[in-house]
Amino acid sequence: MSDRLIMKLRVVGAKLTTPDVLVLDLRHPKRPALPAWTAGAHVDVMVPGGVRQYSLWGDPEDRSRYRIAVKRETAGRGGSKWLHEHATEGLELHVSAPRNHFDLDGQVRPCVLVAGGIGITPIFAMARALAAVGADFTLHYCARSAAEAPLLDDVRSVCGDRLTTWFSQEGRRLDVNALLAQSAGAELYVCGPLGLTAAVETAIDAQGFPVERYHREHFAAPSGAGFVPEAFEAIIASTGRTLHVPAHRTLLEVLRDNHVVRGSSCEIGVCGSCECDYLSGDVIHRDAVLGLKARGARLMPCVSRARGVLILNL
Amino acid sequence: MTDKTSVKQIEPFAHPAAQAAIGVEGGTTGWKGELLHIHIAPAASYEMEELSKATCVAGRGIEGDRYFLGTGTYSPRPDVREITLIEQEALDALARNDPPLQEGPVVLAPEEHRRNLTVRGVPLNHLVGRRFRVGEVILRGGRLNFPCKYLENLLDRPLFLPLYNRSGLNCGIEKGGTIQPGDVIELLD
């Protein structure tokens, strides 16, 4: 389920929603309807030298355009900076069909949505979907100030009094412990910087909140500081071929060198493009996509490794 | 990526399938088909784009296509991929769920199936090891196309079984030239 069609889309709207967040509207120049998507989905956007993932925040019912919001990351890899400088009306952008690793898990329970900054994009799509079916939800939106909260007006108009804002410049900070204590029985969806998800996860541990009802999306894979990669062997099950993966190279690179075809995109373990089945092995999972259950049979070769011998179902 | 040395095409009649088929009696003759659509994609996974006219280069492929440029999903593997064809009749059968091997009809538009040429009235399964012309261009059938999981993933639809045995034909270009929809397709020998 990992390969996605890449389309040449046209920027039909480019507008700042905050001083450092650019909203882009994208249309297909030839087709009236873009591939369908659900709340929580993201697209890959090709930028010089790489690929970036952006969540869709518009209305999934409106198949005529995709709406993304790009935060200028001054310390980033350069993709968002390039988009801020070049994405104006008329620009052609190469964009993948959407994929979703962060979808709403049924809607039987009330939902508590928590967004930090630009993390509002998938969370807003979820709020819109929940509001559309009259589901019970609340949205907690954390940002430095109202002026720095992307899409705030749109979020307000969709959520009404189900929205609570937490602007630190006004001295209001979300108390995740208190929120969790009030959220027993709810599904919890969180998207934001690592500081926010880490605080939520600490509170989850402390309070024994059921982990299967916690859903999060990372902007970046866990850094894994201190991780020392070691060499291992990968066997291709269909041919019996053994490939040596040296400590300084990724499994994905070694597969590619040996003409084992894998799609890939982010290559930092967040997009899920290069997902691969394995039959046996002591895998060191380092991605931010696969859930615990999936990790028993699948891995992301761009970041994940193994100890000893790994048998790939390829 | 556009370096010619990265393009690994097998001469179609050197493919084991064509080798085995050449000289074997059989195959329908006397038919006359038509080119309906031409599609190319600049690179792996990119949406196919329709052309009203295309330039075919002998031993290389269609100008601008991923297998001409060496940027296709399967470009690193030596194979017969200069130009690929599929029958409109096979797409029609999928659309009427015939045979009913999957949940229901599968509508596969010409820009979705990722073969270069959509043709009508051409018995592609009979053309391995045979020469035929599309307008002024001469093609050699190298091997039958085979459905891939990649396409199934890309389109998120069950296609492997429905396309099985009617997935089209992979060809090489013996004589290049310009083709356009409406061109006549005929067996040469």
Give the pLDDT of chain B (189 residues) as one tens digit per residue: 344 444 678 999 999 999 999 989 999 999 999 999 999 999 988 999 999 999 999 999 999 999 999 888 788 778 999 999 999 999 999 999 999 877 889 999 999 999 999 999 999 999 999 999 999 999 999 999 988 777 887 887 888 888 989 999 999 999 999 999 999 999 997
User: Do the chains contact at B150 and A5, CB–CB below 8 Å?
Assistant: no
Q: B48 to chain A: nearest residue by CA? A: A7
Q: Decide if B6 touches A, using CB distance below 8 A.
A: no
Are the folds of A111-217 and A232-312 the same?
no
User: Do the chains contact at A5 and B154, CB–CB below 8 Å?
Assistant: yes
Report in angstroms the alpha-carbon separations of A183 from A157, A177, A218, B97, B178: 24, 10, 22, 48, 67
Mean of all residue pLDDT scores within chain B: 91
Beta partners for A15? A23
CA distance A234 to A240: 10
CA distance B6 to A93: 27
**β pairing state of A111-116 and A187-191:** parallel
Mutate to test the interface with B, among A4, A5, A9 (most CBs of B within 10 A): A5
CA of A24 to nearest chain B CA: how many angstroms apart? 21
Of all residues in chain A, the percent with pLDDT exceeding 70 is 96
Report in angstroms the alpha-carbon separations of A8 from A92, B153, B160: 6, 19, 27
pLDDT of residue A10: 98
pLDDT of residue B5: 42
User: Do the chains contact at B156 and A6, CB–CB below 8 Å?
Assistant: no
Q: Check whether A221 has a pLDDT greater than 70.
A: no
Given CATH 2.40.33.20, say whether it is the number of domain B4-187. Answer: yes
pLDDT of residue A218: 66
Q: Which CATH number fits the domain A6-96, given the four candidates 3.30.450.20, 1.20.1330.10, 3.40.50.720, 2.40.30.10?
A: 2.40.30.10
pTM value is 0.77
Mean of all residue pLDDT scores within chain A: 90
CA distance A279 to A272: 19
What is the residue-wise DSSP string for B19-30?
HHHTT------S
Contacts of A7 in chain B (CB under 8 A): 46-47
Contacts of A294 (CB under 8 A, 6+ apart): none
Q: Please choose, from the candidates A140, A130, A122, A219, the residue with its C-alpha nearest in 3D space to the C-alpha of residue A176.
A: A140
Q: Which residues of A295-310 are buried (b: 16+ CB within 10 A; e: fewer)?
A: beebbbbbbbbbeeeb
Tokens (6 digits) for B184: 């006549």
Which of the pair, A12 or A271, is modelled with greater confidence?
A12
CA distance A125 to B182: 46
Q: Check whether A1 has a pLDDT greater than 70.
A: no
pLDDT digits (tens, 9 = 90+) for A91-120: 999 999 998 888 887 767 899 999 999 999
CA distance B83 to A196: 52
State the residue for tokens 């002591």: A282
pLDDT digits (tens, 9 = 90+) for A241-269: 999 999 989 999 999 888 887 777 778 88
pLDDT of residue B3: 41
Query: Is residue A219 very low, low, confident or very high in pLDDT (cuts 50, 70, 90)?
Result: low
Task: Count the neighbouring beta carbons within 10 Å of the beta carbon of residue B78.
Answer: 13
CA distance B189 to B177: 20
User: Do the chains contact at B150 and A4, CB–CB below 8 Å?
Assistant: no
Contacts of A261 in chain B (CB under 8 A): 73-74, 76-77, 150
User: Do the chains contact at B74 and A3, CB–CB below 8 Å?
Assistant: no
Q: Decide if B148 touches A, using CB distance below 8 A.
A: no
Identity at A66, one-letter amino acid code: Y
Which of the pair, A184 or B118, is modelled with greater confidence?
B118
Q: Decide if B155 touches A, using CB distance below 8 A.
A: yes
Q: A259 to chain B: nearest residue by CA? A: B76
Q: Are B152 and A1 in contact (CB under 8 A)?
A: no
Beta partners for A163? A139
Contacts of A8 in chain B (CB under 8 A): 46-47
User: Do the chains contact at B45 and A263, CB–CB below 8 Å?
Assistant: yes
Q: Are B169 and B141 in contact (CB under 8 A)?
A: yes
Query: Is residue A131 very low, low, confident or very high in pLDDT (cuts 50, 70, 90)?
Result: very high
What is the residue-wise DSSP string for A232-264?
EEEEETTT--EEEE-TTS-HHHHHHHTT-----
Mutate to test the interface with A, among B48, B81, B156 (most CBs of A within 10 A): B156
Helix (H) / strand (E) containing B189: none
Q: Decide if B154 touches A, using CB distance below 8 A.
A: yes
Cα A7 from chain centroid? 20
Diameter over CA atoms, chain B: 44
Q: Decide if B160 touches A, using CB distance below 8 A.
A: no
Tell me the domain boundaries of chain A: 6-96, 111-217, 232-312
Residue ranges of chain A whose CB lies within 8 Å of a chain B CB: 1-8, 94, 96, 259, 261, 263
pLDDT of residue B53: 98
Helix (H) / strand (E) containing A156: helix A152-159
pLDDT of residue A226: 59
Contacts of A94 in chain B (CB under 8 A): 46
Q: At what angle do helices A120-132 and A152-159 cross, to 10 degrees?
A: 20
Tokens (6 digits) for A109: 């329970």
Task: Count the neighbouring beta carbons within 10 Å of the beta carbon of residue A158.
Answer: 19
Q: Check whether A142 has a pLDDT greater than 70.
A: yes
Q: Which CATH number fits the domain A111-217, given the four candidates 2.30.30.230, 3.10.20.30, 3.40.50.300, 3.40.50.80?
A: 3.40.50.80
CA of B8 to nearest chain A CA: how many angstroms apart? 12
Q: What 3-state class would DSSP assign to A61? A: coil
Contacts of A118 (CB under 8 A, 6+ apart): A21, A69, A71, A150, A219
User: Do the chains contact at B76 and A261, CB–CB below 8 Å?
Assistant: yes
Please give the CATH topology (third level) of the domain spanning A232-312: Ubiquitin-like (UB roll) (3.10.20)
Tokens (6 digits) for B182: 């409406």
pLDDT of residue A274: 87
User: Do the chains contact at B46 and A8, CB–CB below 8 Å?
Assistant: yes
| B123 burial via Cβ count (<10 Å: 0-12, 13-18, 19+) | middle
pLDDT of residue A33: 92
pLDDT of residue B20: 95
Task: Count the neighbouring beta carbons within 10 Å of the beta carbon of residue A206.
Answer: 11
pLDDT of residue A212: 85
Q: Are A54 and A67 in contact (CB under 8 A)?
A: no
Tell me the domain boundaries of chain B: 4-187
